[in-house]
């Protein structure tokens, strides 16, 4: 127990900071993934064949390959690409890529593909008649989106987005391979220096369980809020 106490002797404060890092990476990646997903779902639903095909390829490829490969691509390929651009602007030398940014981008790219499908399904779930009715009222596309589409898409998409968030939370563990000090990395460091790996990985597991359980309740509340005023049988 002393191992987990706060202060100089224990690992409590380190683990707390690592947990905050996990939450930060997961939240940033989830939000960025939502942006990718929203843009992508419009692309996939668009009448432009080329745009739709690109969005389709994005979801097929990303959902079919391991997340770890995407992380390696961004981590190793990212700094190479940055150095290439830096050299074009006359900068020589090694450019190191920020582990936080890499991690957020990698998880956002993976999560975006899942969010895309969730949002697309939610858009398709809005009855056509309502959109036609809104047009018949003379609503502009922006008003239609704000008043008719967005509130319902949010309601239909929330359960699926809750799952995507849980995925994001668990995928952050993979970022530890880049050396970013989140829960998993901190547990590995602690396990290495105290020779008590089971204790540290068990604590990591408990921290993840706490995060997934608490946010699961949060999403359940959000769903209740989004469904307020909806008649249920």
Site for another protein in 93-152 (CB under 8 A): none
Helix (H, G, I), strand (E, B) or coil at 143: helix
Q: Which of 16, 54, 125, 205 binds another protein (CB under 8 A)?
A: 205
Measured distance CA(14)–CA(91) in Å, rounded: 37
Residues 157-177 as b/e (b if ≥16 CB within 10 A, e otherwise) read bbebbbebbbbbbbbbbbbbe
Compute CA distances 169 → 51, 66, 117, whole Å: 30, 16, 19
C-beta of residue 122 within 8 angstroms of C-beta of residue 160: yes
Binding segment (CB under 8 A) for another protein, from list 4-12, 85-93, 148-156, 190-198: 190-198
Q: Which of 46, 66, 91, 151 binds another protein (CB under 8 A)?
A: 66
Binding segment (CB under 8 A) for another protein, from list 10-18, 60-68, 116-124, 143-151: 60-68
In the complex, minimum distance from the CB of residue 138 to another protein, in angstroms, rounded to a whole number: 42
174 binds another protein (CB under 8 A): yes
Binding segment (CB under 8 A) for another protein, from list 55-63, 99-107, 111-119, 139-147: 55-63
Helices and strands: H and E segment counts in the chain: 10, 0
Q: Which of 11, 114, 156, 208 binds another protein (CB under 8 A)?
A: 208
C-beta of residue 29 within 8 angstroms of C-beta of residue 23: no
Measured distance CA(133)–CA(172) in Å, rounded: 44
Q: Which of 3, 73, 131, 222 binds another protein (CB under 8 A)?
A: 73
Binding site for another protein (CB under 8 A): 60-61, 63-69, 72-73, 75-77, 80, 170-174, 176-177, 184, 187-188, 191, 195-199, 201-202, 204-205, 208-209, 212-213
């Amino acid at each position: 127990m002393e191992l987990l106490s706060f202060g100089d002797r224990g690992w409590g404060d380190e683990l707390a900071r690592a947990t905050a890092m996990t939450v930060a990476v997961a939240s940033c990646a989830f939000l960025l993934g939502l942006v990718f997903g929203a843009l992508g779902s419009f692309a996939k639903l668009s009448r432009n064949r080329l745009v739709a095909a690109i969005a389709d390829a994005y979801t097929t490829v990303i959902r079919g390959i391991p997340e770890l490969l995407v992380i390696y691509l961004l981590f190793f390929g990212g700094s190479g690409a940055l150095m290439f651009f830096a050299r074009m602007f006359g900068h020589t030398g090694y450019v190191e890529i920020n582990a936080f940014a890499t991690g957020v981008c990698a998880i956002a790219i993976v999560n975006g593909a899942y969010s895309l499908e969730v949002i697309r399904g939610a858009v398709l779930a809005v009855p056509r008649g309502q959109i036609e009715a809104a047009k018949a009222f003379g609503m502009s596309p922006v008003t239609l989106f704000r008043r008719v589409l967005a509130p319902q898409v949010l309601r239909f998409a929330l359960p699926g987005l809750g799952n995507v968030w849980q995925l994001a939370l668990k995928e952050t563990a993979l970022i530890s391979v880049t050396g970013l000090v989140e829960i998993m990395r901190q547990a590995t460091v602690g396990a290495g220096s105290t020779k008590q790996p089971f204790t540290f990985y068990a604590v990591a597991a408990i921290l993840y369980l706490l995060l997934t359980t608490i946010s699961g309740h949060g999403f359940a509340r959000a769903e209740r809020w989004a469904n307020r005023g909806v008649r249920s049988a």
